[in-house]
Structure 1
Amino acid sequence: MNIKRSIYHYLSYSSFLIKNHYHHNNTIYPCFHSLRNNNKMSYLKPNYFICIPIKNNNICNELINIQKHVLVKYDELKDCIIERNKFHISLLILHIKKNQIELSKEAFNEAMEKIKKNMHNEKICFEKLDTFRNDVLYLSLKEDSNKYIINIINHLIDSFSKRGIKIIFNNKKPAKEILSNNNKKELNKNSNDLQHITPHLTLMKNSYMKKMYMNKKPQILPFFYTDYDLTNLLKEQIDIQKIQFLEMDMDTSTSYYKIVSEFNL
């Protein structure tokens, strides 16, 4: 009985640590919390997202080299890497109910038509390597590219929020759900979140690590990546050709996320 009790306490404590450790993204997919109108804490698990896939070979090669550079410094992070075929710039993270799938496709298509009609296609430029709380290593965008991506995100937010589909912000602060409905005031209450959005391309994230840790998972420290020469990468530009609406589950036949819809620009 003492052994069983010890195991139970260990598992309970580990679960507590894991929940505490994650405040975003993917299984790999931790739950996100938000404060409802009744001030009770609720947890949502992101299950869909919208992104710009990265297929440029030169860029992908450089991203792989950065990952290798980090692993030379600290091999424990080998399970943190994003696979080559999954490099992307995240635009929107969503929690979608089963009965909202068709509604979500409608929202996505509406936003894509607005983007194609109202926005000129601009090339995306990178700026530097950085992390979210030393848990996620990412490549940030230059200011003009940031603004351009945020404009795309605004069109997506407008289409999804007015249909009552829950949006989860991904930023440097703890992630927060928008309680969307048809009332625009609800979105305006969260306008400060838009200012904190950090468009980025993720290279590594320690939430991918499957090993259980009693304390914090290994962190991606600046020492591991700040000496990498970004000269070649910063010369590259992304020409946005496609935006994808994806389920976070994997399609075993393609080893890629399940594609709900995609739009060619």
Structure 2
Amino acid sequence: MQRLLRRLLPALCPARAAAAAPAFLAPPARPARPRPMALRPPPPAAGAGGGGGPRRVAGESPEHDDLENVLEKEILKENKESTQQRKERCASTDSTDSLMVEMPFVNIDIEDEFAVRLTSEVNLKKKRKRTTGRENEEDNERKKKKKEQYRPNFFISIPITNSEISGGVQAVQDTIIQKDHRLSKAMVHCGSLHVTLLVMHLSSKEEVSTAVDALSDSKDLVEDLLKGKTVDLSFQGIDHFRNEVGFVKLAESDHTAILMEIAETIKKIFQEKGILAGGDRAFKPHLTFMKLSKSPKLRKEVKKIDPSLYEKFKSHYFGDEILHRLDLCSMLKKKQPNGYYYCESCVILGKNHGADLVKEALHRETQALLSKRNQIKKLLSSPEIRMKISKELFEDRHNYTSKGKSCTDSGSPNA
């Protein structure tokens, strides 16, 4: 580890290692070898030059003494230089060690440290996956609750009271069912035909009461827009939404523009009352007679409605409806016997429509009773139903006679 750090140290700390780099990178100095002492000149031969003179002692010659001093100085100088080199080497080593000491990971085993970090990172990733899974579930639950809170459950409706329109729609539905019987589950009851002006979500009785007041307040403003004129809504042709919803189109005219103004006026009144009314989609008045969303099982079988099923009705004229009533209807409450939605409140537009409203209500009730009577007749005309009814009557008669016999037996004198 220390060898690796010493190699990396110049790159990590170039400023401090620059001073110690020459001595650190220089090769180790070799100890200086002592030079050989100069040979002393041989003493002169005995007897020469007068024979028998006194012998010279070593060091007595001045030349010899000077030579020895020079050699000693050189040796001391070399020793001093080697000592200085050793001190510089030690100083460079100390500086490197001091730099290493400053490193926070100098005494750490790299393999062990990386192994621990890798395992901790894996555990952290697993923990993040678990937490993200929980967060996703919580987000989905919040979204579902939010959708339920703001899903429309009430709407402002213009009911269709013209029997010509409802009869034409019934003919279209019958034609489609003959070609594809599965779509019978997607058909809208003719008694439920209406034009939706506004949708909203009302979560309490107080909000429903506020909506009733808002609808009542809108009457005067709507009548001011009409200025005594009647709004004649003409229905002609068939169109669809994404081949999932079939509807009768409202023909473009000046009356459709007035209808859009009425829808905007009512929307503002409801919003002023604190009710979030209206949707993100642009207002497009239409008359729905078929939609796949009525049956979830049907959605699995039929993804799209084939437009060729109602090809011959694409430009068919269905009739006119005069605007004279606005209803606040519930999407979730049980419908009326005639098939129309549960009505919380209604507003009659104009002064001469009260009698028409009563006639319409009586007509709807009569039609509902007639349809039920026709259904009973069809059931009774079926041979299987008649056999079943006769069988039940026979069993009831047999049970009655058996009970009578038991009663007479229990009333005998021997009882």
CA 1:72–1:47 in 2, change beyond 3 Å: closer, same or farther? same
Partner of residue 121, structure 1: 230
Given candidates 201, 208, 222, the residue that maps to 2:307 is 222
More helix by percentage: 2
Q: Percent identity?
A: 23
Q: What is the TM-score when the length of structure 2 is the normalising length? A: 0.45
Aligned counterparts of 1:252 and 1:62: Cα–Cα separation in 2: 22
Q: Which amino acid aligns with 1:57?
A: S
More strand by share: 1
Q: Report the Cα offset of residue 237 of structure 1.
A: 1.3
1:127–1:61 distance in 2 versus 1, CA, 3 Å: closer
- After TM superposition, the structure 1 = structure 2 runs for residues 59-98 of structure 1, keeping only pairs within 5 Å, are 59-98=165-204
**Structure-2 separation of matches of 1:135 and 1:212:** 11
**What is the CA–CA distance in structure 2 between the aligned matches of 1:90 and 1:203, rounded to whole Å?**
13
Separation in structure 1 between the aligned mates of residue 308 and residue 298 of structure 2, nearest angstrom: 24
Give the alignment's Cα RMSD to 1 decimal: 2.3
User: For 2:219 and 2:302, how far apart are their aligned partners in 1?
Assistant: 38
The structure having more radius of gyration, on CA atoms, is 2
In the TM superposition, what are the counterparts of 1:1-265 in structure 2 within 5 Å? 42-43=146-147, 44-98=150-204, 99-119=206-226, 120-144=229-253, 145-169=255-279, 176=280, 193=281, 196-211=282-297, 213-214=299-300, 217-228=302-313, 230-233=315-318, 236-251=319-334, 254=337, 255-265=339-349
Where structure 2 has 5 or more consecutive residues not aligned to the other structure, the ranges are 1-142, 350-415
Instruction: Say whether the 8 Å CA contact 2:155–2:331 is kept in structure 1.
Output: yes
Partner of 1:19: none
Change (3 A) 1:245 1:67: same
Per the alignment, residue 12 of structure 1 pairs with none
Contact 1:50/1:90 (8 A) holds in 2: yes
The question of whether the paired residues in 2 share the 8 Å contact of 1:45 and 1:95 is answered with yes
- 1:230 CA drift (Å): 4.5
Unaligned runs of 5+ in 1: 1-32, 34-40, 170-175, 177-192
- Residues 50-96 of structure 1, C-alpha deviations (whole Å, 9 max, x = no match): 11110111111000001112212222110111111111011111111
Q: CA deviation at 1:245?
A: 0.7
SS in 2 for 1:260: strand
TM-score (norm 1): 0.69
Paired positions, count: 200
Instruction: Describe the shift of the 1:231–1:139 C-alpha distance in structure 2 as closer, same or farther (beyond 3 A).
Output: closer
Q: Against the structure 1 CA distance between its residues 232 and 101, is the aligned structure 2 distance closer, same or farther, given a 3 Å change threshold?
A: closer
Higher relative contact order (CA 8 A, sep 6+): 1
